[in-house]
A and B are shown apart, each in its own frame.
Chain A
Amino acid sequence: MYTVAFPSFCVHGPRHEEDIMDLVRREVEKCDRLGGFFNMMSMAGGTGSGMGTYITQCLRDTYPHSFILNQVTWPYGTGEVIVQNYNSVLTLSHLYQSSDAILVHENDTVHKICAQLMNIKQISFKDVNKVIAHQLGSVLQPAYTEGASEYNRNPLGDLMKSMVCHPEYKLLGLRNIPQMSETSLAYSVFTWPGLLKHLRQMLIANAKMEEGIDWQVRPPAGGLPPAEKGTHNKQLRFNTSLANLLILRGKDVQSADTGGFMDPALYTSWLPPGVASSTWRTPMSFNRYEKSATLVSNSQFLLKPLDGIVGKAWNMFASRAYVHQYTQFGISEEDFLDSFTALEQIIASYTHL
Chain B
Amino acid sequence: MYACGEAVFSVFCPLGTGSGLGTFVLNVLEDEFPEVYRIVTSVYPSAEDDVITSPYNSVLAMRELTEHADCVLPIENQSLVDIVNKIKHMSHSGKLGAEIKQSSTIISGQGGVKGQEKPFDAMNNIVANMLLNLTSSARFEGSLNMDLNEITMNLVPFPNLHYLVSSLSPLYTLADVNVPSRRLDQMFSDAFSKDHQLIHSDPKHSLYLACALIVRGDVQVSDLRRNIERLKPSLPFVSWNQEGWKTGLCSVPPVGHSHSLLALANNTCVKPTFIELKDRFMKLYKKRAHLHHYLHVDGMEQSCFSEAFSSLSSLIEEYNQLDATKGLLMTDAQRLNIAV
In the assembled complex, A188 has its CB within 8 A of some CB on chain B? no
A-B interface, 6 closest residue pairs, ranked by CB to CB distance from nearest: A318-B333, A321-B157, A79-B245, A123-B222, A82-B154, A79-B243
Complex interface bits, A310-338 against B, C-beta within 8 A gives 1, otherwise 0? 11101111111110110000000000000
Instruction: Report yes or no: B222 in contact with A311, Cβ–Cβ below 8 A.
Output: no
Residue picked from A80, A81, A82, most chain B C-beta under 10 Å? A82
Does B241 interact with chain A (Cβ within 8 Å)? yes
Chain B proximity mask over A71-86: 1 for CB below 8 Å, otherwise 0: 0000011111111000
**Distance between B328 CB and nearest chain A CB, rounded to angstroms:** 13
For residue B78, give the distance in angstroms from its CB to the closest CB of chain A: 30
Segment among B141-149, B281-289, B290-298 that sits at the interface with chain A: B141-149
| Given A82-B210, A315-B333, A316-B240, A4:B150 Cβ within 8 A | yes
* Interface set of B (CB-CB < 8 Å, partner A): 6, 143-145, 147, 149-150, 152-159, 209-210, 220-223, 225, 228-229, 232, 239-241, 243-247, 332-333, 335-338, 340
Cβ 8 A contact of B147, one of A2, A80, A312, A340? A2
A residues less than 8 Å from B209 (CB atoms): 321
Query: A residues within 8 A CB of B153?
Result: 4-5, 7, 83, 322, 325
A311 to B156 CA separation, bound complex (whole angstroms) = 21
Q: Point out the residue from A83, A315, A322 that lies within 8 Å of B239, measured CB to CB.
A: A315
Provide the bound-state CA to CA distance between A49 and B244, in Å.
19
Verify if A254 is at the interface (C-beta below 8 Å from B): no
B225 contacts across to A, CB distance below 8 A: 76, 78, 111
Write out the residue numbers on chain B whose beta carbons fall within 8 Å of the beta carbon of A123: 220-222
Cβ-neighbour of A325 out of B6, B156, B220, B336 (below 8 A): B156
Report yes or no: B143 in contact with A124, Cβ–Cβ below 8 A: yes
A117 CB to closest chain B CB (Å) equals 15
12 contacts between A and B (CB under 8 A): A2-B147, A3-B149, A7-B153, A80-B144, A122-B222, A122-B223, A314-B333, A321-B241, A325-B153, A341-B336, A341-B338, A345-B338
Interface SS, B side: mixed
- Categorize the interface residue count of chain A: 35 or more
Interface residues of A (CB under 8 A from B): 1-5, 7, 45, 76-83, 111, 115, 122-126, 128, 310-312, 314-322, 324-325, 340-341, 344-345, 347-348, 352
Contact in complex: A321, B158 (CB < 8 Å): yes
B242 — nearest CB in chain A belongs to which residue? Answer: A312
> In the complex, are the beta carbons of A111 and B222 less than 8 A apart?
yes
Taking the closest CB of chain A, its distance from the CB of B158, in whole angstroms, is 7
Is B244's CB under 8 angstroms from A82's CB?
Answer: yes
- Tell me the smallest distance from the CB of A280 to a CB of chain B, in Å: 34
Given A311-B335, A325-B156, A77 and B149 contact (CB-CB distance below 8 Å)? no
**B155 contacts which of A82, A128, A312, A340 (Cβ < 8 Å)?**
A82
Q: Which residue of B lies closest to A321 (CB)?
A: B157
CA distance A111 to B223 in the complex (A): 12
Min Cβ gap B91→A in Å is 32
